[in-house]
Amino acid sequence: MAGDSDVPGLSARDRVRGCLRELAVNARDPNLRAAQSSFLLAWMAEWAFTVGIGIVAYRDAGAFGVGLVGLLRMLPAAVLAPFAAPLTDRWRRERVLVVIAAVRAVAFLATAALVASGDTVPVYVLAVLATTVGTLYRPAHSALLPSLCRTAQGLAGANITRGLLDSVAVLVGPLVATVLLSTGSLAAVFVAAGIASAAAVPTMLLVRYEAPPRRVVPQRPSALADVREGLGAVRGERRLGLLFALAAVQTATRGALSVFVVVVAIDLLGTGESGAGLLTTAVGAGAVVGSLGAVLLLGSSRLGAWFGVGVALWGVPLALVAVWPSPVATLALMACLGVGNALVDVGLFTLPARLAVDEVLGRVFVVLEGIIALSVGLGSLVTPLVIDAAGVRGALAVIGCVAPLAVVAAWRGLRALDRAMADRDVSVALLARSPMLHPLPMPAIEHLARCVEPEVVPDRGTVVVQGELGDTFSVIERGEADVLQDGVLIRRLREGGSFGEVALLRDVRRTATVVARGELRLRTLGRAQFVAAVTGYTRSRAEADLLIASLRFSAEEGADAVDVDRPGVAAGGPAGE
């Protein structure tokens, strides 16, 4: 994986070219193209609906109504989504996304009919339904993307692309709503949202990929056990907890923003209802710019730190609006907030996919979405109370300071996370040089990298002994090793070289001895993890079959089969000799 922008010898031009190549994969690869296009349509629908329902609530009950509706939409989603979360891990994830988009399309179109008839009370019920179902959309999509990628850098590129599309959705969805509201047609906003959500269905149906192997579960698995497993994955990984805590602060501020865009536009700036859509559009415009800039983070070893910067940028612009409440300045500051949104998305949806195993990844992202839903709801409910107590400008100042202060408190943990991910990158790069592991999708290779154990062997130390049972697979991180058969040197392995795969796959004894030539640093995998990964995917299993077949052919020709790997897959050359 590429290093950060301060890596010697890596020019800005080279970084941009590399980033553009990775992003182009999302346009060329049919699976990524379909998944990303479907997300764009679904999220444009979400943002148009958010503007529309905010206007309905403001007409009915003012600023407090906007905040209350925000809570009513998010609270059931936060409570119910964890119980539906196992669907994102038990079912094929693209099918879950299709069902969600279809249900939301029906809800949006029904809302349009009710608004046109003047009956707004059932509209809030539909809003709760659409939001509750939609809470699973981003988690399922976030859990799907790693299976469509080969590397962590590829996943970061996919998330940057999705962040850019999210930003476009934040720009286009509210812009469409603003245009329709300026014509006096509130119902048309919900029609547009319904059409966009419906269009996401056939687009997602184009996705084709090899789903990762799943463990066998009881015919009637316990819903509570499934929920506990997802929550346990978050509790058991403190770095996930740190990310999710900061996400809660950021999304509580987002909930406050849903109130502020209406109140600031109408009460502080005097730009009317359409001004609320314009402010939200400014957030989207800034997010587009931020997403384009986030391209430079592709391959960065500091995603945690940049995530923290993004969270801070969600608060600082609000505090500055309190100081400088002019229409032009407010639009510019909302755009800065959008830049923060782009930075948050890159880290928040790339790092958890590397910290949690694929088997529970959907539930982990649903936990995140539940936290988001709850914090957005609380933020939208508390904000009117703060406005009543401190006024619009006072509330902007107070709420705007929360996010940057939280980042300051969490900064040391974010930097520790970056260091841990940099070490993980070393393991991933080494494992990927093995011909059998190179074809694995990103979740599988990341899981193996989590399981590796470092090992240091002194000069002339014996790593494996001919005739012993084999139970490990090893990759050389640093140093050299001699491969001896019956005491005769037959091969020398260098950095990136690996050995042990044949004994594990064929369940035979070691056919050679491996001795360190100088101090040797290894990264080692146990039998269970290695065999499950290689045999669980078609391409890696095919590579294993080819290797075993070549050894059988060598034996038939009278050659000795040696339990060390063939030359590895790496840009730097062969893994061994």
pLDDT in tens, 412-442: 999 999 998 888 888 888 888 877 787 777 7
Residues 6+ apart with CB under 8 A from 61: 68
Give the pLDDT of residue 209: 77
Question: Where in the chain are all domains bearing CATH 2.60.120.10?
Answer: 442-556
Q: What is the mean pLDDT of residues 211-226?
A: 57
Which amino acid, residue 564? V
Among 109-118, 514-523, 529-538, 551-560, the least confident range: 551-560
Whether the per-residue pLDDT at 395 is higher than 60: the answer is yes
Q: What is the mean pLDDT of residues 88-100?
A: 84
Q: Write the pLDDT tens digit of every residue in 454-479.
A: 889 998 898 888 888 878 888 888 89
Percent of the chain with pLDDT strictly greater than 70: 83
- Average pLDDT of span 536-541: 72
**Euclidean distance between CA atoms 435 and 248, whole angstroms:** 42
Q: Which of 380, 178, 374 lies closest to 259, judged by CA?
A: 380
Q: Say yes or no to pLDDT of 566 above 60.
A: no
Cα 316 from Cα 554, distance rounded (Å): 67
> Which residues fall within 8 angstroms of residue 164, CB to CB, at 6 or more apart?
288, 291, 292, 294, 342
At residue 309, the pLDDT reads 93
pLDDT digits (tens, 9 = 90+) for 473-514: 888 888 999 988 888 888 888 888 888 877 777 777 887 889
Query: At 177, is the pLDDT very low, low, confident or very high (cuts 50, 70, 90)?
Result: confident
With vertex at residue 185, the alpha carbon angle to CA 181 and CA 186, rounded to the nearest 5 degrees, is 75
CATH class of 442-556: mainly beta
- pLDDT beyond 80 at 141: yes
* Angstrom distance (rounded) from CA 392 to CA 395: 5
Q: Mean pLDDT, to the nearest integer, of 61-73? A: 74
pLDDT band at residue 10, thresholds of 50, 70 and 90? very low
pLDDT grade, residue 569 (50/70/90)? very low
CB 384 within 8 Å of CB 63: yes
Question: Would you state the pLDDT for residue 163?
Answer: 79
pLDDT given at position 564:
45
Residue carrying the six token digits 């494992």: 431
Of the segments 73-82, 175-184, 198-207, 329-338, which one has the largest average pLDDT value?
198-207
Q: What mean pLDDT comes out for the span 300-325?
A: 88
Whether 22 shows a pLDDT value over 70: the answer reads: no
Question: Does pLDDT of 1 surpass 70?
Answer: no
Inform me whether the pLDDT recorded for 342 exceeds 70. yes
Q: Which residue has the tokens 């408190």?
A: 409
Please state the rounded mean pLDDT for residues 133-141: 83
Three-class SS state of 324 = coil
For residue 469, give the DSSP letter.
B
Computed over every residue of the chain, the mean pLDDT equals: 79
Residue 383: in which H helix or E strand, if any? helix 361-431
Among 139-148, 202-211, 366-375, 448-457, whose mean pLDDT is lowest? 366-375
Q: Given this model, what pLDDT does residue 555 score? A: 40
The pLDDT tens digits for 226-238 are 666 666 666 767 8
Res. 277: pLDDT tops 60: yes
The better pLDDT of the pair 6, 395 is held by 395
Where would I find the beta strands (DSSP E) of 357-413?
Answer: none
Q: Is the pLDDT of residue 168 over 90?
A: no
Could you confirm whether domain 12-429 is CATH 1.20.1250.20?
yes
Domain with CATH 1.20.1250.20 in the chain: 12-429
Q: How far apart are CA 570 and CA 36, in angstroms?
A: 29
